[in-house]
Chains A and B, each alone.
Chain A
Amino acid sequence: DADVTQTPRNRITKTGKRIMLECSQTKGHDRMYWYRQDPGLGLRLIYYSFDVKDINKGEISDGYSVSRQAQAKFSLSLESAIPNQTALYFCATGSTGTLLTDTQYFGPGTRLTVL
C-alpha cells in the first residue's frame, strides 16, 4: 500500500464550484504539505502544516484553504474554483532528520481541470 495517498486522482469541475482534495499518510510523519505543479514553474508550495494545530501559508495560498483533520490527514479546498487553478496537485509528508532537515515524500498527485 502507498504511504501517501491522494483522492481523487483526476477531477474535472466548472468555474465557481467548491472542490476538496484529500491526502492521507501512513508514514507517521508530523509535517504535511500541498504543492501545485505547472509546466515550467516547478513545484510551488500552497500550504503546509508542521503538526495538527499548525497551519501555514506557502508561496501561493490565495484561493485555497486547508484543514489538518488529524496527523494523518490534510485536505486542500478550492472554495470557488477558477480556470487558472488547473494544475497537478501534490501532497507531501516530511519528518525531521538528524540535522532537522526535511526530506519530503510525495503522493501520486491529483490532476485538476477547471473549465
Chain B
Amino acid sequence: DQQVKQNSPSLSVQEGRISILNCDYTNSMFDYFLWYKKYPAEGPTFLISISSIKDKNEDGRFTVFLNKSAKHLSLHIVPSQPGDSAVYFCAASKYGSRLTFGEGTQLTVNP
C-alpha cells in the first residue's frame, strides 16, 4: 500500500509566483518528513525537512508545512525560479527507521 502519496504528477507555474507541492500520508506513526529535489541525470538532493513536533519549517525561499490532523504536508517555493524546475519527492519516516517516498511531482517554472 502506498503510505506516502503525491497526487499531482506535474505542476506548472510562472516565474516569480508561488509553487505549492502537496503530499499526503497514511501512517500516523511517521514523525519526520523530508523533501528532495531531483534534476535529470542526477540523484535526488535533500531540500528541507520537518519533524512532527513542528508545523512549519522555513529555509530561504522554501517552506514546508505539516498538518498532522490531516496527514498532509506541503512545500511552498516563493518566488519560483526557472532553476527550481525539477522532480520533487516527499518522504516520511518513523523514529530512526527508513524513508518511504512518494511518487514525485514534476515542477516546471516558466520564464
Residues of A at under 8 Å CB distance from B? 4, 33, 35, 40-45, 48, 58, 90, 92, 96, 99-109
Contact = CB atoms under 8 A, between A and B. Distances in A.
Nearest to B104: A42
Given A43-B101, A99-B32, A106 B44 contact: yes
A48 B103 CA distance: 20
Given A42-B89, A101-B51, A109 B98 contact: no
Nearest to B9: A40
CB-CB nearest 10 A-B residue pairs: A106-B43, A100-B96, A42-B103, A43-B101, A101-B32, A42-B101, A106-B44, A108-B43, A107-B43, A42-B104
Contacts of A58: 98
Contacts of B98: 33, 45, 48, 58, 102
Contacts of B95: 99-101
Contacts, number: 61
With most chain A CB atoms within 10 A of its CB, the pick from B41, B43, B96, B97 is B43
A92 B36 CA distance: 13
Interface residues of B, number: 25
Given A90-B43, A90-B44, A103 B49 contact: yes
B57 to A, nearest CB: 13
B42 interface: yes
